[in-house]
Structure 1
């Protein structure tokens, strides 16, 4: 059993890595990588992290995942709050390093892989549709996590399944909202950039939490066997 201090440190490092490599790939090489490349950057980050910090903290690196684990009884209220703080700190640190990289090259950091919607972002969906999209994508992602981590026998492949599922939801979501499914991943870039990214942040905090809660409820209702 690891201490809470080690768990939150792992969550902070993990979220830092996810934001730096995922959002960084979108911001610095999105045109060359395309949607598939960006999706893989996020997915492969999770695959790597799952096997490194998974045994320590569970490798949530996502407040929505932590909420689902809280609802599922796998995380205490105290640990939930500590995880959220660590994840937010890691996301801001990852975005800050990305911002500094742009600044060191004498460039304006107008793109840090932030999420968005409306005219000029992706195909230009509305705020309401962005909420719906993020709820659905988060539901799929979190439901897969809860399913693959519910059986100890899946331990060796869980990280791969979770990473590939994150890649899957990104393939659809990048052209719509940039794909959040993770309030911390959205929080970091928005805090650094401010403006429109910050004003639209409410969608990418609220919708993933709703999607995660629905996934946790669905899993408990459909997948958990009851004695007798």
Structure 2
């Protein structure tokens, strides 16, 4: 594991929290749920194009868990990614907190873009409903991630469907729980919000991880099941390059030289 891959996960997660959660904290009253959702999606797409070749741009512990269960990375790499993601989320939230405190009359205590259920849910959704919603929404996000980074002919477009998936789940999830689908995204803001945000944080760590496990299981059945796998590989050979080439665990042949495997294929 190269240090730069861990640094990329740290930077990417910090940026996602700063700009994604920042759109909610600083501009939520002006751009509503649609604008916030698009901000998250566009931010992820931009980060993926910038950092995808370096680390795979998971920037989400649930995604990393799904990739681990898909056997594209080992447990050591996953742990390093998780540490980088949570630390990055704290740093991103800290920068956002400092920025928000420069805005007159902006309330940060108890909210600050954190997730919640019950009285902290926009629609008053209870813990059970919030848990189910987060599992299902995270399942969609991680399943799309695993699918488009699988060895399929989608060269050059990988970040787009994942970003659109994040925007879609935020659009649905914001009215329910303020949309987590990412334990690190929930952890950073909750540290600075304090109070009930910390008390309810467990749900927004556990539920997305469950969603990641479910996505990995379904992806294994739909894309890695022995029946029909040979036919799919023959019909759709792995592409050589792409913005998230290393995320696929595929091969990137160098011009005029032998093929070089990405870190997840090693």
Q: TM-score range by the shorter chain?
A: over 0.9
Other-structure match for 2:96: 98
- Report the alpha carbon displacement of residue 197 of structure 1 after superposing the two structures with TM: 0.5
Other-structure match for 2:139: 139
Other-structure match for 2:61: 63
Q: Which moved more, 1:104-113 or 1:86-95?
A: 104-113
Q: Secondary structure at the match of 1:191?
A: helix
Tell me: CA distance 1:11–1:120, structure 2 relative to 1, closer, same or farther (3 Å): closer
Q: Secondary structure at the match of 1:119?
A: helix
Task: State the TM-score, normalizing by the size of structure 1.
Answer: 0.95
CA distance in 2, matches of 1:96, 1:8: 20
Cα distance per residue 1:3-26 (max 9 Å; x no partner): 521001000000000000110110
The 5 A counterparts of 1:48-127 are 48-105=46-103, 107=105, 108-110=107-109, 111-127=111-127
Is this contact kept in 2: 1:70–1:76, CA < 8 A? yes
CA distance in 1, matches of 2:216, 2:137: 14
Other-structure match for 1:7: 5
Question: What is the CA RMSD across the aligned residues, in angstroms?
Answer: 1.4
- Report the alpha carbon displacement of residue 120 of structure 1 after superposing the two structures with TM: 4.5
Other-structure match for 2:263: none
CA distance in 1, matches of 2:187, 2:129: 20
Is this contact kept in 2: 1:4–1:79, CA < 8 A? no
CA distance in 2, matches of 1:27, 1:225: 43
CA distance in 2, matches of 1:169, 1:81: 26
CA distance in 1, matches of 2:32, 2:100: 20
Q: Secondary structure at the match of 1:48?
A: helix
Q: Secondary structure at the match of 2:150?
A: coil
Other-structure match for 1:165: 165
Larger radius of gyration: 2
Cα distance per residue 1:106-155 (max 9 Å; x no partner): 55523321111112521010001000000000001111111111025223
Tell me: CA distance 1:76–1:113, structure 2 relative to 1, closer, same or farther (3 Å): same
Cα distance per residue 1:185-228 (max 9 Å; x no partner): 00001112221100000110000000000100111012214267
